Amino acid sequence: MAFQRVASRSEVPEGSVRVFEVGGRSIALANVGGDGIYAIDNLCTHDNGPLGEGTLVGDLVECPRHGARFDVKTGQVRALPAVRPVRTYPVQVDGDAVFVDVG
């Protein structure tokens, strides 16, 4: 695994999703609060909508284009029109630093 520093915790406030570039990929970091920070691809599997511009409700991110919802912990689809899961990435938090492995 090759974890890379992506952000500081303060850049991803609790209850929000933010977009970062890491390893040539656009990644959406989602801070679900007590459960931590999760990383997923920034592209909806329905029509490549920008998930990082979506709304985070609990551990679900909603695509701003057509409302598909994904579990940020597992990448699984939770609401249509998407039918394929989104890719997730391992995250480590060390103090204020957030690291992601896009390996």
User: How far is it, in rounded angstroms, from Cα 46 to Cα 1?
Assistant: 29
Q: CA dist 14 to 9, 24, 57, 80, Å?
A: 9, 25, 11, 26
Supply the pLDDT for residue 1: 60
Supply the pLDDT for residue 34: 83
Residue ranges per domain, the chain? 14-92
- DSSP state for residue 87 in the 8-state scheme: P
Residue whose structure tokens are 């656009």:
26
Q: Which numeric CATH code is attached to 14-92?
A: 2.102.10.10
Supply the pLDDT for residue 69: 98
pLDDT along the chain (103 residues), means of 10: 92 97 96 92 96 96 97 98 98 96 92
SS (H, E, C) 18-67: EEEEECCEEEEEEECHHHCEEEEECECCCCCCEHHHCEEECCEEECCCCC
Supply the pLDDT for residue 103: 86
Supply the pLDDT for residue 49: 95
Classify residue 101 as exposed, middle or buried by CB count within 10 Å of its CB (0-12, 13-18, 19+): middle
